Structure 1
Amino acid sequence: MAPHGAAYNVDWIFPNNSNVHVATDLAWFTTYTAFPSRMGHLMSATAGTEVLGVGTVELEVRRSSTQGRSRKPCNKLVLEDVLYAPSYTCNILGGPIYDVHNVLTSGRVEDSKLTDRKTGATTGLLDLVKLWKLWLKGQPKGMSSLDPNGLNYINARWSESEMKRWQMHKASLASGVTSNATAKAAAGSTLSQLSEIEKKWLKEHYGGEFKFLQVHGLKMHNDEDREEGRSIMRTFMSNDESDNDDKDSEEEDEEDSFLRELEEDPMSHVGDYHFTSAQLDWIEKHYRHSGEFLISYGLKPYKVEDCEDGAAIVQSFMEEDQ
């Protein structure tokens, strides 16, 4: 169920170089799993934004600008593996959208939309206010939650190591965490006790067992729910220990490289915002960074029109490579 009031009107921004979806309100989620993590930003070497969990989000989006005249003016857009980051500036429609949809943002604003990759049918409309955003059901055109006078560089990057950790956690939940807890309850076993370390972990991350269970939709007065919650918690703690013991040196090297490039050439990543994640990967392979690529074609990284031309050039090269 979608949030109400001001929370509903927080923008769903489409920054085409984010590799993950992000939601800032728990009410957006139709399924949700608590999963402490952090996400980063293209312009920062550290993963500075706290992530509390991951889940599925369903959005009612406009698919026709003439709502009263269309047979089906709205469409349900389903987003998987969405990060819950309540402290972030806005919601983010990330790169995974390309798995199912095409995103058209060139030409007239009126023609900017999402289309189904298989059928070509319009699945949602985009609006350009401060930045490109999804046009949700019930929203007036031209409305944005972003500061009209602010400089907004919206972007979200979730590291490959955290993505893998999440996929492993999903698999572990699907393969038996819930069923094991249910089996214990059915057999009449007593509720497993929390160790002092486990109590401390719950306190530090959630404020206590009650809030932890609440986040998962579980009840404190139900022993089966509490047993399930403790199984989930122990999986989290095991993943945390594994993650702390195994530093991702490759990710650290990438962050160091990013900072070195900025120090050597302040214009090296200014134009990144105008390229998709796939395009940036292609540029890194062939030109190191977007600044070097744009300059090699006589384009300026700080000019929007030049960056858009550069993105079109990269896309044509990528299509030739396929």
Structure 2
Amino acid sequence: MENITEVSEFILLGLTDAPEMQVPLLVTFTLVYLLTVIGNLGMVLLILLDSRLHNPMYFFLSNLSLVDFCYSSTITPKVIDGFLVSSYKVISYNACVAQMFLFLLFANVENYLLASMAYDRYAAVCKPLHYPSIMTANACTSLIICCFVFGILTAVVDVADTFCLSFCKSNVIHHFFCDIPAIMTLTCSDKHINELIFFLLSSFNIFFALLIILISYLFIFITIFKKHSGEGYQKALLTCASHLTAVSIFYGTVIIRYLQPSSSHSMDQDKVESVFYTIIIPMLNPIVYSLRNREVKCAFKKVMEKVKHPLNSAF
């Protein structure tokens, strides 16, 4: 029988091993993570505090912000910790499994949340008179629950599909987190079926959600072009602008990263693409929704005025 020794820990090579890049990257990623935490938790708090934002659109947005915070917190602190450690970055087998599970969970929840938000925009633009009866509190809660159910099921299948393999070749991961393609390169088992399962499941999740988004926006644009009022046209378009921007950024990077042939992957290219969708996108979403949303801007000004008033009174 072949003597196989299973690994008990992995070594993450991180983004770069160049010593001169460690401090600049540490400062950059720390600032990015702070902006992510402040932006996303600030958005959740803003929506909770302002009663004008207590509607389905902002209910979904608050959940998206919370997921982005969790999504980033699964990856970024470990990356920052890697810049503080001069030696190799060790992660235990169980911690690697947990990181992969949480990353897949929140990534897939975000995927289906964006689809739910597209359906909400469809109901608001195409069925304005029936909108309150379509997007009820129960309907919104049910959609959120479905997003998490799909996220959990996908994460369980993908993690089981990956870690049922034997890892006896090496324990060095050429990445800064426990990503499935990077982990699968370390196996000494036949991984063709596992790679196929991962590809099919990823393709289904991405394109099913994307199909819902595209169909929703097809009806939205048909409705918009039927409007003869310039003001109505502009208002309808503005309600969708932020969501369309977030969708374009998210799906553009995810499709490039996961749905290209494995033979065309390079380690450095994978790392750059992964930085964008695991660390940068969670920071960008609250900025996109703040800059392109008048109601969010008004709510922020209102909260700031309330904060300034007691401070001015104290002095």
* TM-score > 0.5, shorter chain as reference: no
Q: So what's the TM-score if we normalise by structure 2?
A: 0.28
> Relative contact order (C-alpha < 8 Å, sep 6+): which is higher?
2
Kindly indicate which of the two structures has a greater share of residues assigned to helix: 2
Q: TM-score, normalised by structure 1?
A: 0.28
**Greater strand fraction, Structure 1 or Structure 2:** 1
